[in-house]
Amino acid sequence: MRVDFYHLQQSTLEQTLPVLAEKVYASGKRLLIKTEMAEKADYINTLLWTYKPDSWLPHGSETDGFEAEQPVLITSEENNSNQAEMIMLTDGGTVEEICAFERCLNLFDGHDDAAVQKARNLWKAVVDAGHEAYYWQQNDAGKWEMKASKIPEK
């Protein structure tokens, strides 16, 4: 399993999440976006309908129904109703909840000390479990650069 850590310092969750979700969808993989609270799942659901006037990213939330049919599903529940290969965490998580996925995208707010600590804890747990970990940070131009990686020895 591969886990990518996106340290949000210049861009916000609202700016980054839709771009990454579009990339996952374009790859043909299913995505599960996991939040801690149902209210945040509803917020992200609305965000994905409105972030650009000319965009269309097929998605839904657990409150919309048809979870199994959604290529991008937003949830605060512990499930993988759409059989996603990839998971995106917006509020941190554990190795146990992400280990069933091929890849995890962990987005965390660099201005929130608690979120940074959760990301550090997850990084350590991912590396200790023998999974690939990549740390991404934005440069001054706003481009993502890989600043660190841990690849398990075979």
Q: Please count the helices (runs of H) and the strands (runs of E) in the chain.
A: 4, 8
Residues 53-95: pLDDT tens digits? Answer: 888 899 999 888 899 999 999 999 998 999 999 999 999 999 9
* Predicted pLDDT at 62: 85
How many whole angstroms separate alpha carbon 148 and alpha carbon 153? 16
* Predicted pLDDT at 116: 97
Specify whether the backbone of 99 is left (phi greater than 0), alpha (psi in -120 to 50) or beta: alpha
Q: Is the confidence at residue 154, as pLDDT, over 80?
A: no
CB 61 within 8 A of CB 75: yes
* Predicted pLDDT at 147: 97
CA 93, 28, 141, 135 dihedral sign is positive
Number of domains in the chain: 1
CB 15 within 8 A of CB 144: no
Q: What is the CATH number of the domain that holds 39?
A: 3.40.50.10110
Higher-pLDDT residue of 5 and 62 is 5
* Predicted pLDDT at 11: 93
Residues 126-150: pLDDT tens digits? Answer: 999 999 999 999 988 889 999 999 9
Among 16-20, 26-30, 49-53, 87-91, the minimum mean pLDDT is found in 49-53
Residues 103-118: pLDDT tens digits? Answer: 999 999 999 999 999 9
Q: Which of 84, 87, 93, 153 is nearest to 126 (CA)?
A: 93
32-59 burial, b at 16+ Cβ within 10 Å, e below that, comes to bbbbeeeebbbbbbebbeebeeeeebeb
* Predicted pLDDT at 140: 86
* Predicted pLDDT at 53: 87
* Domain, as residue range, for 109: 2-150
Higher-pLDDT residue of 50 and 55 is 50
Alpha helices in 51-98 (DSSP H): 95-98
